[in-house]
Amino acid sequence: MAADDDRALFMISVAAELAGMHPQTLRLYERRGLVHPQRTGGNTRRYSQRDVERLRRIQELTELGLNLAGVERVLAMEEQMISLAAEVQALQVRLEEAMRTMAAEVERIERSHRAELVPVRQGQIVHIGRARRRF
């Protein structure tokens, strides 16, 4: 969502109308901690577009038969799911980066070993021994 979705634009009466519910219901949802409207200097509630969408989601869940405790749980699980999805996406990016790094390192090691390999014809006997060092 855009940053504009978080701007507190609507008075309680407008937000209630946009959400299709009574202003008293919004006050109840605020007391229950389901919505957190911003407040003006004069302590007037101001709702954002995101708040209105959340109110609509609450209404949708209550119409499905959930009580407010159930709505709280569903909203908490939805928020957790969004958070976990973002975490999975970040981990996927890190995994892909690690895989690219690993593939580059494997390629580097394979290239360094190619210089040490000597071609041998089939049937040729090769003696591999340790070089002696003088100290």
What residue segments make up the domains of the chain, in order of their start? 1-65, 77-115
Class assignment of domain 1-65?
Answer: mainly alpha
pLDDT of 111 reads: 83
C-alpha–C-alpha distance, residues 125 and 133, integer Å: 25
C-alpha–C-alpha distance, residues 8 and 40, integer Å: 9
Give the predicted TM-score (pTM) of the model.
0.67
Taking the CA atoms of the chain, what radius of gyration do you get in angstroms? 32
Could you read off the pLDDT of 42-70 as tens digits, one per residue? 989 999 999 999 999 999 999 999 999 99
